[in-house]
Structure 1
Amino acid sequence: MADIEVRHTGQHSFEATNDRGASVRIGRKDQPGSFSPVELLLAAAAGCAAVTAETLITRRVGDGFTARAGDVRPEGAHQLDEVPVTLDYDLSALDEDQRATLETAVRRAVEQLCTVTRTLKKATPAPLHLPASASTTRHPPEGR
């Protein structure tokens, strides 16, 4: 199980680290040099699809493919309506049957194995845990 720690580093500035020593800066969408939380979600969706499909794609068409995820929501909304993921790679060296076979294999792999996009489709709960305050841990006086 992977845990990510996000530490406050300044006003509207945070750093996320994993147990392998990697880190990424997080901030508000206008914070220079950082990713916003939504951008990290989009990167996770595109990255998961890319990691999942990498071997299938590079084995057939070589290196140099890209993955993108879009932010689809009404202006000012605080919830995404959709996270479309696009994989882009050069199919010019493949005939029509090879293209169809690759498309089927990539689509199946991402739909079955990409944890991030599968989780987004499922709308997994994300409970918020806060420290217990003194008032919630105290017991009422006896006799009341």
Structure 2
Amino acid sequence: MSDDSFRSVKIERTSVGRYVARNVRGGSMSMGTGEDDSFTPVELLLAAIGGCTAVDVDHITSRRAEPTQFSVEITGDKIRDEVGGNRMQNLTVEFTVTFPAGADGDRAREALPRSLRQSHDRLCTVSRTVELGTPVTIVDPAGPTAD
């Protein structure tokens, strides 16, 4: 992979069950176990899915008209079973978007369904990664162990 395709986030522990995620641009976000107002990792996954799709849809539709309302709700069920352990299922991304009356608003409304399909089928890196089931490698800080 080329350097421009590489992405990373660093997570540092601040106290028991509390962490800060930092990106290379200097942004930070706290997360935790759900015992306070910090986002949990599952909530961040939902936000990443919805945020990725929102960016795609917004870029496409707002070229035609500025929305008067634009919100996204992402829901799912956290389950535990013998097949996959802890995981999410029934992931749903629901948009509430309105545009002003007039020709520009009409063009934006017309572009909305297509932009949703494009994001889902091709553009949104996050939901595409989840749907395709990309493997995750965990690196043990102690290194490989011999059997």
TM-score of the alignment, normalized to the shorter chain, above 0.5: yes
2:23 maps to 1:18:
yes
Moved over 6 A (4+): none
Return 5+ residue gaps in structure 1 as ranges.
138-144
More strand by share: 2
1:140 equivalent in structure 2: none
Return 5+ residue gaps in structure 2 as ranges.
1-5
Query: CA 1:85–1:9 in structure 2 vs 1: closer, same or farther (change >3 Å)?
Result: same
Contact 1:25/1:35 (8 A) holds in 2? yes
How far off its partner does 1:14 sit? 0.4
How far off its partner does 1:98 sit? 6.6
Instruction: State the TM-score, normalized to the length of structure 2.
Output: 0.77
Write the letter of the residue equivalent to 1:6. I
Bigger drift between 80-89 and 34-43 goes to: 80-89
Higher RCO (C-alpha under 8 Å, 6+ residues apart): 2
Which whole-Å CA distance do the structure 1 matches of 2:111 and 2:56 have between them? Answer: 16
Instruction: State the TM-score, normalized to the length of structure 1.
Output: 0.79
2:88 equivalent in structure 1: 80
2:46 maps to 1:38:
no
2:135 is paired with a residue of what secondary structure?
coil
Aligned length: 135
Indicate which of 43, 53, 60 corresponds to 2:57. Answer: 53
Write the letter of the residue equivalent to 1:84. T
Which whole-Å CA distance do the structure 2 matches of 1:87 and 1:6 have between them? Answer: 30
2:140 maps to 1:130:
yes
Provide the identity percentage: 31
How far off its partner does 1:100 sit? 4.5
Which whole-Å CA distance do the structure 2 matches of 1:20 and 1:99 have between them? Answer: 34
2:12 is paired with a residue of what secondary structure?
strand
Contact 2:61/2:108 (8 A) holds in 1? no
